[in-house]
Amino acid sequence: MKTTRRGLTAALVLSLPLALGACGSSDSSSSSGTPSAAASAAGGSSSAGSSSAGSSSTMGGMGSGSSSSGMSGMSGMSHSGMSHDMGGAAAPFGSGCAAVPKSGKGSFSGMAQDPVATAASNNPALSTLVTAVKKAGLVDTLNNAKDITVLAPTNDAFSKVPKATMDKAMGDPKGLLTTVLTGHVIPGKLSPEQLAGTHKTLSGSMVKITGSGQSFTADGTAKVVCGNVPTANATVYIIDSVLLPKG
């Protein structure tokens, strides 16, 4: 019996430290696992935060860049558009421009919408020229012509032509009158910078224009009193004398 009790006691003494060791190991493992998991979770949270911050930063940067770029583009387009508008054709010039109506079909803006013969018919200062053009049957010819320059004599210009010469021309609409009128038409739209020089007219005659800036004279006698007037198919220079055939 004593031997048995001693055996049991010894077994208990030996097993107790083992059991305690096992508990300690389990507790230690459990304790160490908890901080590890927390650290892992914290790390994941930190990574997510970093990723989120990075994403926000990137999107913010893109938004800022896009907005800045867009505004710059709009600013550039606006400036370009304004420059284009301001860089258009020069306005009509000359003392005779005061006789042109300020509004309606006969105004500069109104004439710009119509072909040249129609545009001239709406300008009271050119009524004699229009009558002559109709008499010669040149309305369609002038209206359908592409890009021409017309030296348009005023009513006063025609009044300076000797009556005998005027009667002769009006009595020969398909001959002399047509020759006189087409002698005032130059192929191509000539700007003021291109106007000076010697040009061949639709009649085959040559007209010499001298001057520069806003002062021009055709064939040494006909002064431009209102120049650079736009129509749908022509540029008009209103002159104070009729150009008659030479010789």
Question: For a pLDDT cut of 70, what percent of the chain falls above it?
Answer: 64
Q: How far apart are CA 53 and CA 55, in angstroms?
A: 5
Q: Are 174 and 83 contained in the same domain? A: no
User: Which residue ranges in the chain fall short of pLDDT 50?
Assistant: 1-87
Q: How does pLDDT run across 37-80, given as a tens digit for each residue?
A: 433 433 444 443 444 444 333 333 333 333 333 333 333 333 33
Residue 10 within a domain: yes
Q: How far apart are CA 97 and CA 242, in angstroms?
A: 18
Give the total number of structural domains in the chain.
2
Position 27, amino acid: D
Q: Which residues contact 197 (CB under 8 A, 6 or more apart)?
A: 208, 209
Angle between helices 163-170 and 127-135 (to 10 degrees): 40
Q: pTM for the complete prediction?
A: 0.65
Q: What is the pLDDT of residue 145?
A: 97
Please name the residue ranges forming H helices in 92-230: 108-111, 116-121, 127-135, 139-144, 155-159, 163-170, 178-182, 192-195
Q: Are 171 and 128 contained in the same domain? A: yes
Q: Are 73 and 103 contained in the same domain? A: no
Q: Are 136 and 220 contained in the same domain? A: yes
From residue 119, alpha-carbon distances to 4, 40, 42, 122, 238 in Å are 139, 87, 84, 5, 13
Residue that finishes a domain, picked among 42, 62, 88 = 88
Residue that finishes a domain, picked among 38, 68, 88 = 88
H helix or E strand, kind and range, residue 27: helix 2-86
Q: Are 108 and 65 contained in the same domain? A: no
Residue 245 within a domain: no
Question: CA quadruple 180, 186, 191, 197: dihedral positive or negative?
Answer: negative
Query: 7 lies in which domain range?
Result: 1-88
Q: Are 115 and 153 contained in the same domain? A: yes
Residue 188 within a domain: yes
Residue 134, domain CATH: 2.30.180.10
Q: Are 7 and 63 contained in the same domain? A: yes
